[in-house]
């Protein structure tokens, strides 16, 4: 069995993806962790309220497309797919539309966002077209099963992000911290093109420059169109963007309603609680292919059990020593942040188990169910944040997050158990 795994590359590819996924999550965490030491609490609060918006827009207008590209490329086998160049053009157009929309976003969000310099929103808008090449490259590499090279693009991008965060934030402040993401996108994109030119000649830079997308070529692959790829990418993009928003709506509302300093104070508690997600994401990556193959409820129970063993002790530590942790890492003593950390650590535990359930449903072929649940969670979270933050301050944001997290976890856990039990009955009938 082990020889078979080695022969088809599954074990090797899974190892690459697990490592790059964990590394990317850790670097993303480190990225936020460094910011307050350079910008202070208020600057951190502004960045914490802006970057989730940047990430969501990049997902919606650009990086939600590569998984769909990969699906159609892999299904075509080794055959050249000229439609990918039209996808590249489409991604640039969508990113420009998203960039223009971003400039006016401060007037939509209103509140304290109105008072932020427009240059911050220009920095966000720049990130969208800068993300096109790296996103497109990943679609090509994943679809062509160049998993090792795909993993390298994640490592290069995220490493560059940390390096340029320190440099650009030091010289340009908040604008520089946002701009560092665009620079990392560009470096990762150039590296991705290099890997493609080296290993996949049909999709090389020369092909892009020569624009090998004639009508005749497209007709040869008439079963695949740009419209097909875009339509397939919509639920993927919505799922990823929804999950991102659900975990960060509190910060967006706090910045809008209470201001940057309060959001920075809350951000410290939020940042410490996010550490728990590193473990659940690692488990989820491994769980999807395992449960997809076995359809076994035992795999799901083991994943939940493993997640609880790892995460639960950390939650207990955060509840008992929240004040000490905030003082040790950030040098603050704030009752609201202290209480928020206790609440958010419980919310993180629930969302870590939500991740396991969502991965199980995806492995079973029910990818749309988590989208519906997340949509409900976002609406509930937004309503509760608007009401509770105005009345309870930053603690209201934590309570809103906990309530919505509990709701989505309860719903998805019930559905997951029912689907697995149903499959079990079919399997043994």
Q: How far is CA 406 from CA 318, 335, 399, 409, 410, in A?
A: 18, 24, 10, 5, 6
Domain termination residue (choose one: 225, 258, 280): 225
In a domain, 6, yes or no: no
Residue 314 lies in a domain: yes
- 189 domain-assigned: yes
How many angstroms separate the CA atoms of 21 and 26, rounded?
A: 9
Is 323 inside a domain boundary?
yes
Select the more confidently predicted residue: 222 or 30. 30
Q: For residue range 77-128, what is the model confidence (pLDDT) as tens digits?
A: 656 677 788 888 999 999 999 999 998 988 888 899 999 999 999 999 999 9
Residues 273, 403: one domain? yes
Last residue of a domain, one of 163, 191, 225: 225
Q: Is the pLDDT of residue 382 over 70?
A: yes
Note the pLDDT of residue 1.
44
Q: Taking 70 as the threshold, does the pLDDT of residue 166 lie above it?
A: yes
pLDDT of residue 222: 46
Average pLDDT on 59-74 reads 84
| Shared domain check, 369 and 320 | yes
Residue 93: per-residue pLDDT = 93
Q: Verify that 266 and 197 share a domain, yes or no.
A: no
Alpha helices (H) in 114-146, listed in sequence order = 118-130, 132-143
Nearest-angstrom CA–CA distance, 91 and 131? 9
Say yes or no: 139 and 264 in one domain: no
Q: What is the tens place of the pLDDT at every residue in 232-276?
A: 888 778 878 887 888 889 999 999 999 999 999 999 999 998 887
Of 105, 115, 108, the closest CA to residue 45 belongs to 115
Instruction: Indicate if 157 and 210 belong to the same structural domain.
Output: yes
C-beta pairs of 328-333 under 8 Å, 24+ apart in sequence:
329/268, 329/272, 330/36, 330/268, 332/41, 332/265, 332/268
Domain residue limits at 121: 11-225
Q: Are residues 173 and 92 in the same domain?
A: yes
**307-329 tens-digit pLDDT:** 778 788 889 999 999 999 999 99
Flag whether pLDDT at 279 surpasses 90.
no
Give the pLDDT score at 101.
Answer: 93
Question: How much is the pLDDT for 239?
Answer: 78
The one-character DSSP state at 115 is G
- Percent of the chain with pLDDT strictly greater than 90: 45
pLDDT value at 296 more than 70: no
Least confident of 172-186, 221-235, 410-424: 221-235
Q: What is the mean pLDDT of the chain?
A: 83
Instruction: Give the model's confidence band at 205: pLDDT under 50 very low, under 70 low, under 90 confident, else very high.
Output: low
Distance between first and last Cα of the chain = 28
Total of domains in the chain? 2
Confidence of residue 68 (pLDDT cuts 50, 70, 90): confident
Task: Answer yes or no: is 237 within a domain.
Answer: no
| pLDDT at res. 2 | 46
pLDDT level of residue 295 (50, 70, 90 thresholds): low
Taking only the tens place, the pLDDT of each residue in 354-371 is: 887 887 776 677 777 888
Same-domain pairing of 290 and 398: yes
Q: Tell me the C-alpha distance between 403 and 7, whole Å.
A: 47
Asked whether 272 and 341 are in contact (CB, 8 A), the reply is yes
pLDDT digits (tens, 9 = 90+) for 8-34: 454 565 566 667 777 887 888 899 999
For 30-46, letters b (16+ CB in 10 Å) and e give ebbbebbebbebbbbbb
Residue 290 tokens read as 């395992």
Q: Is residue 238 part of a domain?
A: no
Instruction: Place 287 in a pLDDT band, splitting at 50, 70 and 90.
Output: low
Kindly state whether residues 32 and 173 are assigned to the same domain: yes
Q: Indicate whether 261 belongs to any domain.
A: yes
Q: What DSSP line would sit under 190-255, residue for residue? A: HHHHHHHHHH-GGGSHHHHHHT---HHHHHHTTT--HHHHHHHHHHHHHHHHHHHHHTTHHHHHHH
State the average pLDDT over residues 133-154: 86
Same structural domain, 276 and 193: no
* 265 and 197 together in one domain: no
Confidence (pLDDT) at 132: 94
For range 338-342, the mean pLDDT: 95
pLDDT band at 180 (very low <50, low <70, confident <90, very high): very high
Q: Are residues 277 and 314 in the same domain?
A: yes
Percent of the chain with pLDDT over 70: 81
Residues 358 and 388 grouped into a single domain: yes
Is residue 217 over pLDDT 80? Answer: no
69 pLDDT band, cuts 50/70/90, is confident
Q: For the whole model, what pTM was predicted? A: 0.84
Does any domain span residue 58?
yes
């Amino acid at each position: 069995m082990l020889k078979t795994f080695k022969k088809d590359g599954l074990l090797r590819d899974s190892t690459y993806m697990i490592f790059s996924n964990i590394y990317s999550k850790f670097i993303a965490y480190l990225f936020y962790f460094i910011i307050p030491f350079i910008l202070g609490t208020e600057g951190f609060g502004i960045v914490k309220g802006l970057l989730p918006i940047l990430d969501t827009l990049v997902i919606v207008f650009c990086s939600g497309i590569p998984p769909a590209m990969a699906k159609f490329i892999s299904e075509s086998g080794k055959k050249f797919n000229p439609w990918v160049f039209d996808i590249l053009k489409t991604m640039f157009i969508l990113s420009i539309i998203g960039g223009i929309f971003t400039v006016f976003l401060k007037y939509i969000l209103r509140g304290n966002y109105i008072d932020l310099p427009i240059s911050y929103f220009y920095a966000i808008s720049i990130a969208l077209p800068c993300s096109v090449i790296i996103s497109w490259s990943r679609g090509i590499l994943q679809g062509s099963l160049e998993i090792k090279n795909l993993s390298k693009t994640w490592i290069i991008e995220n490493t560059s992000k940390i390096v340029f965060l320190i440099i650009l934030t030091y010289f340009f402040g908040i604008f520089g911290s946002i701009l560092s993401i665009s620079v990392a996108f560009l470096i990762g994109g150039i590296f991705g093109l290099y890997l493609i030119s080296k290993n996949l000649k049909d999709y090389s830079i020369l092909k892009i420059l020569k624009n090998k997308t004639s009508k005749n070529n497209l007709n040869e692959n008439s079963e695949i169109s740009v419209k097909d790829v875009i339509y397939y990418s919509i639920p993927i993009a919505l799922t990823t963007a929804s999950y991102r928003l659900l975990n960060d709506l509190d910060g967006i509302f706090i910045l809008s309603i209470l201001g940057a300093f309060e959001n920075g104070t809350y951000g410290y508690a939020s940042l410490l609680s996010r550490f728990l997600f590193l473990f659940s994401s690692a488990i989820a990556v491994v769980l999807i292919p395992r449960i997809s193959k076995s359809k076994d409820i035992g795999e799901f129970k083991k994943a939940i059990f493993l997640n609880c063993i790892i995460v639960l002790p950390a939650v207990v530590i955060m509840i008992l020593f929240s004040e000490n942790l905030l003082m040790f890492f950030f040098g603050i003593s704030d009752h609201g942040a202290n209480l928020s950390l206790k609440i958010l650590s419980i919310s993180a535990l629930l969302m870590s188990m939500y991740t396991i359930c969502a991965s199980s449903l995806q492995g079973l072929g029910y990818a749309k169910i988590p989208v519906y649940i997340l949509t409900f969670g976002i609406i509930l979270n937004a309503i509760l944040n608007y009401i509770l933050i105005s009345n309870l301050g930053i603690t209201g944001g934590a309570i809103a997050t906990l309530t919505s997290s509990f709701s989505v976890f309860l719903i998805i856990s019930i559905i997951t158990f029912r689907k697995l039990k149903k499959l079990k009955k079919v399997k043994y009938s």
